[in-house]
Amino acid sequence: MSSRDTILQRLRNRSGGELKVPNCDFSVMQRPPSSVAERIDQFQKTIESVHGEVHLCTRESWIAQLASILSSRGARSLLIPTAHQIGRDLRDSRQDDLPELLIYDEPIENWQPHLFNEVDAAITSTRGGIAETGSLILWPTPDEPRLMSLVPPIHIAVLKASELHATFHEAMLAQNWASGMPTNALLISGPSKTADIEQTLAYGVHGPKELIILVIG
């Protein structure tokens, strides 16, 4: 018999007999209704407490704000989505102090060392955010692949204020995640960090050292 069948048979024929299935009361996951402003406030407080940086922007102002954020860091290159509106807006923008714009349009195997060693920052869209935990929801796509939010030292995420949910639980139900999950879904709540050396926090251990969120109101 295969290991699979042996294991399943042992589980099915358990000597203690059939187990009672308890009821699961999810009401503790519910939160009182909140306004967008309250959610932005909570999101900002929470993510700032873990070293995230939040900039409130408008549709008109975000590119200028982005340019100034990046120049203050001395970033020389920015990886942008190819097809997403964010990428198109950046390419079409007349903002002249943006760094060199790069696109992720071929498989990682073709340019891995460059991505790992040369790219200073990347900007991605989000599928919304979570106020309670200060989290961004990302579902990477061919247009915005998984490593964009992980490898460059600075990750900038664009979040629409209207897409802020109160909790993870609410977000996954509202967006009906159970009907089909992507290759990779992510919650990102701050820059990469570790406390493995004597409980002392250090940022950027493997992923980005900085997480900057542009909240579009």
Partner 1 sequence: MSQASSEDPHHIDVKEFHPRARAAIADPKIRQNFRKAMDGLISKRKDAFEGMDLEALRDLGANIRLRALANLPDLLEQLEKKLTENGIKVHWAIDGDEACRIVRDICVARNAKTVIKGKSMVSEEMELNHYLEEHDIKALESDLGEYIVQLAGETPSHIIMPAIHKNTGEISELMHEKTGTDLSNDVEYLTASARQQLREKFMNADVGVSGVNFAVAETGTLCLVENEGNGRMTTTVPPCHIAVTGIEKVVGNLEDVAPLLALLTRSATGQHITTYFNMISSPRKPEELDGPEEVHLVLVDNGRSSIYQDDELLDTLRCIRCGACMNHCPVYTRVGGHTYGTTYPGPIGKILMPHLIGLDEGRHLPTASSLCGACGEVCPVKIPIPDLLVRLRRESVDGDKLNPAKVRGHGAKRGTLEALVWKGWSWMHARPGAYRFGTAVAARLRKLQPGQLGGWTEYRTAPRLAAKTLHERMKERGQ
CB 76 within 8 A of CB 98: no
Site for partner 1 in 111-170 (CB under 8 A): 112-113, 116, 132-135, 141-142, 145-147, 150, 167-169
Q: Of 127, 187, 216, 217, which one interacts with partner 1 (CB under 8 A)?
A: 187
The answer to whether residue 15 forms part of the interface with partner 1 (CB under 8 A) is yes
Q: CA-CA distances (angstroms) from residue 3 to 11, 13, 132, 167?
A: 12, 15, 43, 40
The answer to whether residue 68 forms part of the interface with partner 1 (CB under 8 A) is no
The answer to whether residue 83 forms part of the interface with partner 1 (CB under 8 A) is no
The answer to whether residue 107 forms part of the interface with partner 1 (CB under 8 A) is yes
Site for partner 1 in 23-52 (CB under 8 A): 23-29, 46, 50
Q: Which residue has the tokens 């939040």?
A: 54
Q: Of 56, 64, 101, 186, which one interacts with partner 1 (CB under 8 A)?
A: 186
For partner 1, the closer CB: 61 or 141: 141
Q: Are strands 121-125 and 154-160 parallel, antiparallel or unpaired?
A: parallel
The answer to whether residue 185 forms part of the interface with partner 1 (CB under 8 A) is yes
The answer to whether residue 205 forms part of the interface with partner 1 (CB under 8 A) is yes
CB 31 within 8 A of CB 166: yes
The answer to whether residue 206 forms part of the interface with partner 1 (CB under 8 A) is yes
CB 208 within 8 A of CB 157: no
The answer to whether residue 12 forms part of the interface with partner 1 (CB under 8 A) is yes
Residues β-bridged to residue 116: none
For partner 1, the closer CB: 47 or 98: 47
For partner 1, the closer CB: 64 or 101: 101
Q: Are strands 129-130 and 135-138 parallel, antiparallel or unpaired?
A: antiparallel
| Token pair belonging to 145 | 């692949």
Residues 69 and 54: their CA atoms lie apart, in Å, by 11
